[in-house]
Chain A
Amino acid sequence: MTLFDLATHDSGTVHKITADDPDTHRRLVDMGLIGADVRVRAKRRRSILVDFSDSFAAVLEADTADRIEVINVRHENSTLRKSERR
């Protein structure tokens, strides 16, 4: 499952980063995302706001979030928004 697949308030752990663009990959790794616990604070059609390990929050574009593999997903809120279901 990728980070962008998570619904608002869902959480999980970053397992792997598979960004094609080396710069983006480098930045995600530099920000210490590998192994970080994540929780989706808000989601929009093309970007997502995520809390990382309760230490900082960052906005990621949908394409970027789709390159972050998440495991141990916990669904806090089962009611998905219409846009999120799509």
Chain B
Amino acid sequence: MSVMKIALCGNPNVGKTTLFNRITHSSAPVGNWHGVTVDVKTKKVDNDAYISDLPGAYSLTARSAEEKITRDQILYGNYDVLVYVAEVNNLRRNLYMFTQLLEADKHCVLVVNMMDEARVKPNLSLLSERLGVPVIGASVTQKNPKTEIIKAAREALCRSVPTPDYLNDVKINGLISKISDRADACGLSRKFAAIKVMENDSDIILRLNTGITNVDKRDIDKPAVLRYAYIDKTLKGISVGGNSNDRTLKIDRLALGKLALPIFFIVMTAVFVLTFEAAKPLSDLLGRLMQKLSVPIMNADIPDWIISLLCDGIIAGAGSVLAFLPQVVILFLLTALLQDSGYMSRVAFVTDGFFKRFGLSGRAAFSVVLGLGCSATAVLSTRGIASESERKRAAFITPFCPCSARLAVFAAIAAYFELSGFVVAAMYVIGCVAALAVLKVMTLMQNKKTKMPAPIIMEMPPYRIPKARRVASVVWHNAISFVGRIGSVVLTVSIIFWVLCNFSVTDGFCGSVDSSLMSSFAGFIAPVFAPLGFGTWQAVAALISGIAAKETVVSVIASLGGWETVLGGSVIAAVSFMIFTCLYVPCVATVSAVRSEAGTKSAVMSVAVQTAAAYSASLVFYQAARLYLFDTTVFYGVLLGGVGLIISITAITHFILKIGRKKRWEKSLNLQ
């Protein structure tokens, strides 16, 4: 039996990845919102099949980056069978892309998913008979459909691909005769190529290179009308229920009504406060356990350097980060609940107007909220944004939103200096304000070059009660990933930093961090940070380690004597350090994600802008706070002067930009 290549495809948010996870026993991210999958994932199923999960798409005329991936995989990916996943309550529209797979001569299996949510069960055998392809019903409450799908895929492979009757249209046949040679040369089905030319699909026309440019504009909508007529005929007598339900309408009446924005802010505040406050007792307990681990080692009869490595390097380093696992787990739990319930899609709608002011659409809100978990993943999720310029800007500013690793640093500082949870919440506000300021500057600078955000046409999923198993799976895998990072990156960095902080060139193991290699190197840079309140070499060493992964800032600080030594017990220096950590250069994984999504130039700019923003914000905060403590009157005087200066600079910049724009506009008029 030959090895078969299968691809799972379909519209967004129909449960493809959930099905993929069940079939392959994997744990790819899922959610009740559009655009969770942004890349192709492939796994082996049994010994005779490979299955790939493709990003969601509405049509083979691709619009966004993720749709282009799906279109290219379907047309040129050499899959033996395409398993098309459709939602039971939305069959009419879901079958639209399916008809295009038949046009493209692809062997298909139709999986009607979410059968447990069907208002009226459709007659699947009649549907299979009419479409001419195997049809399977599936739902999370039924048994794993793996065997059925593989069997149906083999069956589909043996059958010939059915031809929908609308392809016998005279105009389509006329076009087929014109482009058949080029379609064959490009490896495309003649029917498919002809119908795409009729639709004026620029990508396919470019690929065919037939020289056809004068497509009859009156026929552009004809293929869609023919496809829907075919679908309506196929579904006649096969009961299909509606997707809108009373529960969704009732909740939306409240969540999207006049109170939409206050509800959104209450939800987000609740997420932060719960994350910080609910996890605190558990986090403290874990911290105490880690400290207790050191006691027997300290008393053991082993060489000093091993005691130092185990206690100062490993337990104080990696162990101190592990203490923040409860915060990370609660944050992932709450965001998973929001995603699975369908509220996350509403966030895009609620925040759309707000983001428009900064040159983005509400779709960017997904990435920003995802950034609370992991910035690298959030940057990759910007692929769902259709406009390239908007996508690049979203990828650029997403790392400003503090990720869960930065949360560990904030939580550690707040716990040590007994700062309120609102100080931690303020870091998120600072991150968002910095992102918006950078966005605004980018919008002003790129005013003419940048197109306005692409119009938002985004499907809104119904509200669903979050599935406990799915939420647990998301939390579990993210927690494992966090612990995995502690066991790999954090542990490695902790050991490397322990070596650098406990060895000197002349004496080898010196046991004193003050004469170590790291103290010489970081001590050289440290004066740069003195105006920010943390000009110690230990703070610099911790910040350098944070470039690998932000959690390591906590571990390195712990192994270098703790917050008291590093920040000198000053609360304002601690908050200044928090602000710097909140904004400075993102971790290597995130920079690499920005590079892949927005290019090397953007990645370099991202590092430079974030570091500059971090330095400026910390400097302003620390110096202002010192001045306030020193003399309140002088502080208010400087504050007033500063505000006046900012307003003047903004007004002058705006004026200069306006003149520049006017001149460019006049120039373009003259050219015309």
Residue of B nearest to A52 (CB): B93
Shortest CB–CB separation between residue A15 and chain B, in angstroms? 13
Q: Are A56 and B243 in contact (CB under 8 A)?
A: yes
Given contacts A26-B61, A44-B349, A45-B353, contact A55 B89 (CB under 8 A): yes
B55 at the interface (CB under 8 A from A): no
Q: Are A41 and B249 in contact (CB under 8 A)?
A: yes
Q: Are A44 and B352 in contact (CB under 8 A)?
A: yes
Q: Are A55 and B93 in contact (CB under 8 A)?
A: yes
Query: In whole angstroms, how far apart are the Cα atoms of A67 and B183 in the complex?
Result: 34
Shortest CB–CB separation between residue B418 and chain A, in angstroms? 42
Q: Pick the contact of A24: B89, B244, B455, B462 (CB < 8 A).
A: B455
B244 surroundings in chain A (CB, below 8 A): 51, 54-57
Q: Pick the contact of B460: A31, A58, A63 (CB < 8 A).
A: A58
Query: In whole angstroms, how far apart are the Cα atoms of A60 and B352 in the complex?
Result: 10
- For chain A, residues 15 to 45, give those with C-beta under 8 angstroms from any C-beta of chain B: 17, 21-32, 34, 41-42, 44-45
Query: In whole angstroms, how far apart are the Cα atoms of A34 and B221 in the complex?
Result: 10
Q: Give the interface residue-count category, chain A.
A: 20 to 34
Q: Are B200 and A31 in contact (CB under 8 A)?
A: no
Query: In whole angstroms, how far apart are the Cα atoms of A23 and B201 in the complex?
Result: 9
B610 at the interface (CB under 8 A from A): no
Q: Are B199 and A26 in contact (CB under 8 A)?
A: yes
Q: Are A32 and B224 in contact (CB under 8 A)?
A: yes
Shortest CB–CB separation between residue A3 and chain B, in angstroms? 12
A25-B220, A61-B455 known; 18 other A-B pairs, CB under 8 Å? Answer: A17-B221, A24-B455, A27-B58, A29-B220, A32-B92, A42-B257, A44-B349, A47-B353, A53-B92, A54-B244, A55-B242, A56-B243, A57-B460, A58-B459, A59-B456, A59-B460, A60-B457, A61-B361
Given contacts A49-B460, A56-B93, contact A30 B61 (CB under 8 A): yes
Shortest CB–CB separation between residue B214 and chain A, in angstroms? 15
Shortest CB–CB separation between residue A19 and chain B, in angstroms? 8
Q: Are B58 and A47 in contact (CB under 8 A)?
A: no
Query: In whole angstroms, how far apart are the Cα atoms of A21 and B202 in the complex?
Result: 13
A13 surroundings in chain B (CB, below 8 A): none
Q: Are A47 and B456 in contact (CB under 8 A)?
A: yes
A11 surroundings in chain B (CB, below 8 A): none
Q: Are B93 and A32 in contact (CB under 8 A)?
A: yes
Q: Pick the contact of A47: B61, B220, B362 (CB < 8 A).
A: B362
A26 surroundings in chain B (CB, below 8 A): 59, 61, 63, 199-201, 220
Q: Are A32 and B59 in contact (CB under 8 A)?
A: no
Shortest CB–CB separation between residue B462 and chain A, in angstroms? 8
Q: Say what secondary structure dominates the interface of chain A.
A: mixed
Query: In whole angstroms, how far apart are the Cα atoms of A16 and B193 in the complex?
Result: 26
A85 at the interface (CB under 8 A from B): no
B458 at the interface (CB under 8 A from A): yes
Residue of B nearest to A43 (CB): B256
Q: Are B460 and A32 in contact (CB under 8 A)?
A: no
B96 at the interface (CB under 8 A from A): yes
Shortest CB–CB separation between residue B278 and chain A, in angstroms? 32
Q: Are A28 and B457 in contact (CB under 8 A)?
A: yes
Give the one of B61, B386, B456 with max A CB within 10 A: B456
Q: Pick the contact of A42: B243, B349, B362, B457 (CB < 8 A).
A: B349
A46 at the interface (CB under 8 A from B): yes
Q: Give the interface residue-count category, chain B.
A: 35 or more
Shortest CB–CB separation between residue B24 and chain A, in angstroms? 28
For B447-458 the 0/1 string (1 means CB < 8 A from A) is: 000000001111
Query: In whole angstroms, how far apart are the Cα atoms of A44 and B338 in the complex?
Result: 22
Query: In whole angstroms, how far apart are the Cα atoms of A26 and B196 in the complex?
Result: 11
Query: In whole angstroms, how far apart are the Cα atoms of A61 and B252 in the complex?
Result: 18
> A-contacting residues of B (Cβ < 8 Å)?
58-59, 61, 63, 89-90, 92-93, 96, 199-202, 220-221, 224-225, 228, 242-244, 248-249, 252, 256-258, 260, 348-350, 352-353, 356, 361-362, 386, 455-460, 462
B225 surroundings in chain A (CB, below 8 A): 34
Q: Are A41 and B256 in contact (CB under 8 A)?
A: yes
Query: In whole angstroms, how far apart are the Cα atoms of A14 and B217 in the complex?
Result: 20
A58 surroundings in chain B (CB, below 8 A): 457-460
A-B pairs with beta carbons under 8 Å apart, 10 shown: A17-B221, A23-B386, A25-B220, A41-B252, A42-B252, A44-B260, A47-B353, A55-B92, A57-B459, A61-B455
Given contacts A29-B224, A54-B244, contact A59 B349 (CB under 8 A): yes
B59 surroundings in chain A (CB, below 8 A): 26-27, 30
Query: In whole angstroms, how far apart are the Cα atoms of A53 and B386 in the complex?
Result: 25
Query: In whole angstroms, how far apart are the Cα atoms of A32 and B258 in the complex?
Result: 30
Q: Are A56 and B90 in contact (CB under 8 A)?
A: yes
Shortest CB–CB separation between residue B366 and chain A, in angstroms? 13
Q: Are B221 and A22 in contact (CB under 8 A)?
A: no
Residue of B nearest to A63 (CB): B455
Q: Are A61 and B456 in contact (CB under 8 A)?
A: yes
B455 surroundings in chain A (CB, below 8 A): 21, 24, 60-61, 63-64
Q: Are B256 and A49 in contact (CB under 8 A)?
A: yes
Task: Identify the 5 closest CB pairs spanning chains A and B, nearest first.
Answer: A54-B242, A42-B256, A57-B460, A61-B455, A64-B455
Shortest CB–CB separation between residue A52 and chain B, in angstroms? 8
Query: In whole angstroms, how far apart are the Cα atoms of A57 and B518 in the complex?
Result: 58
A17 surroundings in chain B (CB, below 8 A): 221
Given contacts A46-B352, A58-B458, A60-B456, contact A27 B63 (CB under 8 A): yes
Q: Pick the contact of A30: B58, B349, B456 (CB < 8 A).
A: B58
Residue of A nearest to B62 (CB): A23
B201 surroundings in chain A (CB, below 8 A): 26
Shortest CB–CB separation between residue A50 and chain B, in angstroms? 9
Residue of B nearest to A16 (CB): B221
B462 surroundings in chain A (CB, below 8 A): 57
Query: In whole angstroms, how far apart are the Cα atoms of A63 and B457 in the complex?
Result: 11
A25 surroundings in chain B (CB, below 8 A): 220
Given contacts A56-B243, A63-B455, contact A31 B256 (CB under 8 A): no
Shortest CB–CB separation between residue B89 and chain A, in angstroms? 7
Query: In whole angstroms, how far apart are the Cα atoms of A31 and B59 in the complex?
Result: 9
A23 surroundings in chain B (CB, below 8 A): 63, 386
Given contacts A31-B58, A51-B244, contact A59 B352 (CB under 8 A): yes
Q: Are B349 and A49 in contact (CB under 8 A)?
A: yes
Residue of A nearest to B202 (CB): A22
Given contacts A32-B228, A55-B93, contact A47 B352 (CB under 8 A): yes
B386 surroundings in chain A (CB, below 8 A): 23
Q: Are A47 and B349 in contact (CB under 8 A)?
A: yes
Query: In whole angstroms, how far apart are the Cα atoms of A46 and B362 in the complex?
Result: 11
